[in-house]
Every structure is written in C-alpha cells, then in structure tokens.
Structure 1
Amino acid sequence: MSSGRISSWTRFKLPAKSLGPHLFKPLAAGNNDRLHDAYYGSIAEANDEHMLVVIWESREDFAAYKDSAQYHELISNLKADTTSTEPSTHIVDFDKIAFWWRFGPNTEIRTVYFPALIPSKTRDAVTRLKGLVLTMGIGIDGSKAHFSPYNGVPTCGWAEGSQIWMNQDTVACLWCHYWKDREVEEKFKLTETRPPRDGEEDKILILEAFERDLKSCGALGWEDIHVDFKKVPKSA
C-alpha cells in the first residue's frame, strides 16, 4: 500500500539563465500543507530543459492544486512565452520510499518502458531489482562510505497512466541512482562487475547485468538523464 504521498514530475524548457527559485513562487504560496518537498534542476543531456519534482502529501492535495489559480500561474512561469510547448507532467508512485532524500547534483533518472499490459507480478519483479548498486562498501559502522560512488541505494517508482514511446503505448517506471559525481559514475559503469549467477560462465559488468534483468522482465527500452537537483525553498 502507498504511504499516501505522490510525486509529480514536470519537464519544461526555458533558457538556463531564467532558471531559479523565483519561478516556483506559485507553488510555495499557500500550499505548505499540501506539499511535502519540491526539487528542481537542469537536465544535462537536453539544452535548456529542466525538471521539477514535487512530493505531495496526498493524491487529493495534488488534484486540488491542479484546480487552483496558483497552478496555472506556475505553468505560465515554466514557459518561455505563449507559443512555447506546454510543460509535461507525470505522476510517479514510489510507494513508501523517500526517493527524494538523496537528490543532488548528479542524480541519474532512468525511465524504463514496458508493454502497456504488463502484469502486476512483473511490476513487482522490476521493483525488486537492485539497480546498479552491487555493494555499498561502507562497512558495518559506515566508516567507509566515502569509498562508495553513490550516496545511497537506487529507488524505483511507477508512472501512472500510459506513456508514448517509439510511437507505441507503454507503461514506465523511473529508476533513480544517486551518484556522487559523473567521474565516479562513469568509472563504475565501465569497470564494476557482478559475480556470475547459475548458468553464467564469467563475471559481467553490473550495468550489463542490470539491463539484462530489465529486458528479462519485458523492458522495451529506456532513456537516461542526469539532473542537478536543488531544493525549492518553502518560501520561494
């Protein structure tokens, strides 16, 4: 069962120089009881594209906000002008996982697409995957945390509704990986291996293993972005 909290993920396009907490004043105004937290940041792989993630106290709180004047003001702020493409928002349910706690300057978001009629048992199997974390390397007392390339274990949430990918209806999940920086991420993906499982002759790269696991669950494909997340002040 979900904790009741729900997250909205809004992708929008603005000149990078225009990005700042001032854009989100309509979000902060009068909504402190509705929203738990909010984060924003630029997408490294897309020029002038950004992401706003809001954690709402409940599904009803998000629905009420969408009917408010502040919501329309916020959407207007996230457009360069009246001819700009509308910001795109998806609701993602991470159940009881506080996925936003480790948002930072090199958060990787992998959106994985599956056939629209994916059974619930397959969803559960995908959620149980471990992502790219092989070992945390922190020791029993956490004294070796600085050796780890990431700030915590990955998290997985499911987007609600259908998603169009490669001209077909799909459903999608989002995997969040919390890398300390791009250099250690790239080194990890190029060198870290997973011990062989039954039927495997040799160790394989952990990245390849994760992608094999996704495909075995029926994944059609995925897209990766990196976001430099910053917290939206409650009084933006």
Structure 2
Amino acid sequence: MRMMGYLKTKEYLTHDELIERIFQEYRDCDKKKYTSLFLSSLSSNKLSYRSGLPVFAIMQSFPKHSFTPCKKSASEKALFDKMNEEDKAFVISRIPCKYCSSLKNIEVDIELIEECFSEVGGLIGHNPLTYYHYLLQTNKLEIVKPIESDFRIFSEIITVLLQANEKETVKKTVQSKIGKIRGFKSNTEQRQVLLETLGYCSILETKEHKGLLEHYTNCASTPRKTHSSDWNCPVDFWSGKDGINKQAFRFWFEEYKELEQFWK
C-alpha cells in the first residue's frame, strides 16, 4: 500500500519509513521531466522547477538501506556494552546513520525545506527529509518544455565553465560571469546551488572527488577543500583544468539537440 504523499508538521518518522518513502517517490521520477524543469527554470526564474534535479542526481547512487549506526571507537564500544538496555536505546537514538547521517527517529519540520525548494532552487542541507520533500513536490509539478532562451542561458553557463583557466574555481570569477548572463536572474546563493547541482550530476567533478552519477558519497559528511568553505563536494574541489564530464552531460541532456555540442 502506497504511503500518504504528504508530510505533517509535528509528525515523527523513523529513518526506515522515510527511506521507503524516498524510494517510492524515486520510482515515479522521470529524467526528461526533471531535466526539462531544470532548464525551464533558467529564463522563468521559477526556482521550484530547478530544485528536483540535484536530489534525482543523488538518487542515481543513493543506497536503499536500513538504519545503520556509525561505528563507535573501541573505547566507546566498551562503555556502550556496559549500559543497560534503556541507556543503549537512548544512545542509538542519538547516533547518525553511516549512509545518510540521519537519526533513527526524525522530527518532520519542513518549513525551511519548503522555503529552500521554492526560493533557492537547490539543496542547502543534505538529509533524507529534504530529499523526500523535493522529490514529492517535483513529482507533483507538470512537465514544462524549455524554450530557446533556456538553452541559450544554459549553453552560456557551460561555456563560462569551459573557458575558465586551469586554476580558476567556481567561487569567484566564474560565478560572477554566470551572474551577468543576459536573462538569467539569480543571486549568489542560487548560482552556488546550481553549480553544486552540476556537481551532483557528475558534470563538474575531479579525478579524486566524483559526483553521484555512479559513485555514492554521503553528502552530509563529505570533505571540504578548506575549513571555511561553504561549498559542497565535488564542486568545492573543481577548477578549470577539470573541464566537464561529457559522458555525464550526455546522460542528463542527450535528448536536447540544442546542447549536443557539449558532449560531442
């Protein structure tokens, strides 16, 4: 029986219930719809159209799993083994899952998640509740076909990335140039999550830090290039010398002849 397709505030879900809901929504996802919405957001500035693709990209390798606590150190395990069953249950409830960093029981609080979905156009946090809400809401949207200006804007974004010099990152000049593209309304945060989406899609990645198309990484615990960086992996490590992954680009956008120059 299909679970209810909505979330109530003040509700609690177990980790395993939420993972099951995520995969129910994922089974209903259509790649063409998600990429069409993403492209259509560029000229329309409808940021909710853009938000689904990063989660759909992560789901390409996201493992279906039961709650699995992160491993404890030897000293922590020795202390844990001495606890009574009630104390053990409490400790387990505070330990994150090693695959997704979620706790065993999750309070449903979606106010900020809804705001990010509608006003940011990408992922601010990485947790199963966010993934579920983004897939749920995107699956409710009608498919929207991109228009000429969407293809032009996206082509110019990719061209800026391809023309970056070897040591140039996405964080300053590249992002600034993208912000000046005609017809593309965006602020710094929106451009950052858009570029991070291309990272999750494996279009922007490095040899050492891969996207999520084929290799799963727990995005909630990935490394950062510096302690002060607020960019997510793999884009945090990308520079102009890395270029774009043409195979990944083709996987996502091969149905659009307007973009074929970037994978041929």
Shorter-normalised TM range = under 0.3
Alignment TM-score, normalising by the size of structure 1 = 0.24
Alignment TM-score, normalising by the size of structure 2 = 0.22
Q: Larger radius of gyration, structure 1 or 2?
A: 2
